[in-house]
Homo-oligomer: A and B are copies of this chain.
Amino acid sequence: MSSSANGLNNRPILASIHTDAFQHNLNRVRELAPESKIWAVIKSRAYGHSFDAALQGLSSTDGFALLNVQNAQLLREQGWQGRILLLEGVFHENELALAEKLSCDLVIHCEEQVRWLEAYKAHKPFNVFLKMNSGMNRLGFRPAAYRTVFHRLHSAGYKMHHMTHFANADHVNGLPTVGSQMEVFNETIEGLDAPTSLANSAAILWHRNALGDWVRPGIILYGVSPTGLYADIEHAHLKPVMQLQSEIIEIQELKKGDRVGYGGRYEAPEDMRIGIIACGYADGYPRHAQDGTPVWVSDANSGGGVICPIAGRISMDMLSIDLRKAPEAKIGTTVELWGEKVPVDVVAHMSHTIGYELLCALAPRVPIIVK
């Protein structure tokens, strides 16, 4: 199944990235926010999907948003001529010249960055997305300080935009609410005419009054739920972009009462077969995954497949599944860890986390194929 760059068959684990699904999800964001421009958020190697794949699949975005000016450089080298937003601005003053050369837009979230910009002699003024801390208390200026900073940067010649980030667009009962943050935001920017950027993925799906001029979809571009629950996006017409596959590399015939793996967590309730898969937590599969987490096992005869549950603790390089529903499975049989058959949200939920974390954690040792 998998082939390494040198043509050798290798350890059989592979992530396939479906650029048509990227395109589909981006179109879906356009439908949901038809009046807004789109920053496609591709930090953390496009949430583990690779910048290459993102550039191919998301090329009709208005801009890419990411963290490092070095990654912006990579995008420019690969031919991207649209806008680029540095989501945390520059980390040090001496990055400003490169950011300008690469025509990056900057988020500005702290006083140090304001001083750097005031001191900087730009040839062409940056687009500045001034970050307001409207209640999330992570990055940005409190409302009391915000207007002063806005005026300072505006008078220094920068092209100003208003920006904030929601703490609970994905939480029905979380505090602060989107409504309370919107109220703070709108009051604070009153009379300061400039484009706005507010909505993350959850707001795009569920807070249509909070979109702003530039939306910032991240996780939904990858076809994954902002809440961590697949049920929340099941009818949102999104497609999973990443498919993680591997193969069965060993089959063990257990007797009733035999135990599997470290700690012996799984105990065979009857004589049965266990399949060992070449995928472990050092590939990015979560060690927190409980017994019962679904793995899809292909059936070469039928062309279909069947869900088999995780049985036993995840090892560094392997995991084990209950093969009672897959009597045809053998060494070499292909399995899907997540993708179309097994939403990554389901694996995340069975591991008490969210799909974001699993995608970003895809290990560098897993080969990626862009399709």
A231 CB-CB contact with B under 8 Å? no
A239 CB-CB contact with B under 8 Å? no
Interface membership of chain A positions 32-60, coded 1 if the CB is closer than 8 angstroms to chain B and 0 otherwise: 00000000000111010000000000000
Return chain B residues, CB-CB under 8 Å to A91: 9-12, 249, 278
Set B12, B95, B317: member contacting A44, Cβ < 8 A: B317
Set B167, B281, B288: member contacting A262, Cβ < 8 A: B167
Return chain B residues, CB-CB under 8 Å to A352: 288
Return chain B residues, CB-CB under 8 Å to A139: 249-250, 276, 318
**A138 to B252, Cβ gap below 8 A?**
yes
Return chain B residues, CB-CB under 8 Å to A259: 135, 137, 167, 175-176
A195 CB-CB contact with B under 8 Å? no
A129 CB-CB contact with B under 8 Å? no
**A137 to B258, Cβ gap below 8 A?**
yes
**A10 to B365, Cβ gap below 8 A?**
no
In the assembled complex, the Cα of A10 lies from the Cα of B69 at a distance in Å of: 8
In the assembled complex, the Cα of A8 lies from the Cα of B352 at a distance in Å of: 38
In the assembled complex, the Cα of A95 lies from the Cα of B281 at a distance in Å of: 25
In the assembled complex, the Cα of A87 lies from the Cα of B318 at a distance in Å of: 12
Interface membership of chain A positions 321-361, coded 1 if the CB is closer than 8 angstroms to chain B and 0 otherwise: 00000000001000000000000000000001110110011
> Given A137-B274, A282-B360, A287-B357, is A43 in contact with B316 using a C-beta cutoff of 8 Å?
yes
In the assembled complex, the Cα of A252 lies from the Cα of B315 at a distance in Å of: 40
Least CB separation from A356: chain B residue: B316
A191 CB-CB contact with B under 8 Å? no
Set B109, B278, B287: member contacting A354, Cβ < 8 A: B287
Return A348 CB to nearest CB of chain B, in Å: 10
Return chain B residues, CB-CB under 8 Å to A312: 137
> Given A8-B70, A287-B357, is A168 in contact with B263 using a C-beta cutoff of 8 Å?
yes
**B44 to A363, Cβ gap below 8 A?**
yes
**B94 to A8, Cβ gap below 8 A?**
yes
In the assembled complex, the Cα of A136 lies from the Cα of B68 at a distance in Å of: 45
**A88 to B317, Cβ gap below 8 A?**
yes
**B360 to A360, Cβ gap below 8 A?**
no
Return chain B residues, CB-CB under 8 Å to A110: 249-250, 331
A261 CB-CB contact with B under 8 Å? yes
A174 CB-CB contact with B under 8 Å? yes
Return chain B residues, CB-CB under 8 Å to A357: 281-282, 287
A260 CB-CB contact with B under 8 Å? yes
User: Which residues of A from 101 to 130 have beta carbons under 8 Å from B?
Assistant: 109-110, 112
> Given A176-B264, A360-B363, is A9 in contact with B281 using a C-beta cutoff of 8 Å?
no
Interface membership of chain A positions 156-178, coded 1 if the CB is closer than 8 angstroms to chain B and 0 otherwise: 00000000000110110011100
**B11 to A137, Cβ gap below 8 A?**
no
**B263 to A365, Cβ gap below 8 A?**
no
A320 CB-CB contact with B under 8 Å? yes
A67 CB-CB contact with B under 8 Å? yes
6 closest Cβ pairs, A-B complex: A9-B92, A44-B282, A282-B360, A137-B260, A364-B364, A175-B264
A-B residue pairs in contact (CB < 8 Å), sample of 6: A6-B70, A9-B95, A137-B320, A167-B263, A284-B361, A316-B356
